[in-house]
Homo-oligomer: A and B are copies of this chain.
Amino acid sequence: MTVPPGSGTALFTDRYELTMVAAALAEGAAHRQCVFELFARRLPDGRRYGVVAGTGRLLEALSEFRFGPADLQLLARVVDADTLDWLRDYRFTGDVDGYPEGELYFPGSPVLTVSGTFADVVLLETLALSIYNHDSAIASAAARMVTASAGRPLIEMGSRRTHEEAAVAAARAAYLGGFATTSNLAAGSRYGIPTAGTAAHSWILLHDDELSAFRSQVAALGTGTTLLVDTYDIRRGIEHAIEAAGTGLGAVRIDSGDLGELARQAREQLDALGATGTRIVLSGDLDEYAIASLRAEPVDSYGVGTSLVTGSGAPTAGMVYKLVEVDGRPVSKRSSAKESRGGRKSALRRFKPTGTAVEEVVHPHGTAPAAGPHDRVLPVPLVRGGAVVDGAADLGAARERLRAALVAVPWEGLKLSRGEPAIPTTFHTE
């Protein structure tokens, strides 16, 4: 297959991965069998769980990880000719195991295990971390918001607050996290996520008055549409909305002010006008705490933007990608505070007979501790000999997996307040 210049994912890579490959090829160490592990040393401050996300995107990016002609031209300034030849033919041919997408993770969970020659595997470091650190940060924030919303649907509408490509990945991670829809059309196109939208204040301001704006929107989009009622006076806005659409109006959106108080007033007013089926959509700087505080109010759905796409205070998951094994020998860094555990690892999660999770057990690969009937081995095969395992990238399955995993979290683990991880991680040694 010919790769068009610069269209692949191989340059989403730190320069030092390439110079390490060059040096390793020169001396021969490039071909040593290595295992790298992707994991989080800790959760973001006070968080009680993390959500594994990005698996599907990584597996897709892996198949496009090729050095095309334009890439090689650039790299001629970075590495020697022998390395260029090696890169020209590069395909990942190793194995990947990992927590399936949508699974929970805790400090030290071996989220991803990548095996192959040093050169094969080190090249994927930057891309794998970029994808997992971004997507897991967003999915973890999304899951908290979904918990806070107590069953009311959430619309992801944060595209404008983050990089345009990150926005598409954020919409995907939010959907994985339980959001109902996204405003992002590219996410709809690429991942089949349901899209949704209302109207902007500019729509109202474009018209001579609010009533004309509403009439025009209803004429074009039907009475099921959502009218934005807070451009001028909300009470008048709701009157105009029902005047334009009738009592069958789909929804009104309120984007500013004291949202709880305004929702109550809007509900009363709508009901008094006979629009008892018209829903109320709230938006405007909502995060999981604001959503939780609106639980008692007559809200039908929430639009969430900034806080979702910025991970609600934790914009990166802080995962690392560490060499843990060389030719079957465990290796680890030994200086200072950032100590790592050497050796390839696996993990299982222990559950009570009631289905509640109690412990994450991380253990050396191949020496699994006795597992009870309710316990679950966490890593699954994702890539074998460079080929993606069937079903490993299924977004719908990941969404369902997370929903089920959260049901099994002890109730304290779902609290929004800062605290310890929902379950402890126990490290077994050989």
Residues of A within 8 A of B (CB): 6, 9, 11-20, 22-24, 26-27, 29, 32, 34, 36, 61, 70-71, 74-75, 78, 80, 118, 122, 125-127, 129-131, 133-134, 157, 159-169, 183-186, 188-190, 195-203, 205-207, 216-217, 219-221, 230-234, 256-257, 306, 309-310, 315-316, 318, 321-323, 326, 331-338
Contacts and interface: CB of A to CB of B under 8 A. Distances in A.
Given A185-B74, A323-B205, A163 B130 contact: yes
9 smallest beta-carbon distances between A and B, as pairs = A16-B197, A23-B220, A15-B197, A165-B165, A129-B160, A202-B323, A163-B166, A11-B186, A12-B164
A318 to B, nearest CB: 7
A78 B164 contact: no
Contacts of A129: 160-161
A127 B186 CA distance: 12
A125 to B, nearest CB: 7
Nearest to A316: B161
B189 A336 contact: no
Given A159-B130, A315-B315, A206 B257 contact: no
B197 A322 contact: no
Contacts of A256: 335-338
Contact of A26 (B18, B74, B164, B220): B220
Nearest to A24: B206
Given A166-B166, A188-B74, A189-B11, A160 B205 contact: no
B157 A14 contact: yes
Contact of A161 (B78, B133, B202): B133
Contact of A159 (B14, B22, B234, B338): B14
A134 B163 contact: yes
A32 B27 CA distance: 68
A130 B125 CA distance: 27
A12 to B, nearest CB: 4
A333 B205 contact: yes
Given A23-B221, A26-B219, 11 more contacts: A11-B186, A13-B159, A23-B199, A32-B206, A131-B163, A134-B163, A161-B318, A165-B165, A205-B323, A206-B326, A232-B333
Contact of A22 (B168, B169, B221): B221
Nearest to A332: B205
B206 A323 contact: yes
A217 B23 contact: yes
Contact of A197 (B14, B29, B75): B14
A11 B126 contact: no
Contacts of A188: 15, 74
Contact of A134 (B12, B134, B166): B166
A409 to B, nearest CB: 27
A201 B17 CA distance: 11
14 contacts: A6-B190, A22-B220, A23-B203, A26-B220, A118-B206, A126-B159, A130-B163, A133-B161, A134-B162, A163-B166, A163-B169, A201-B322, A231-B334, A233-B335
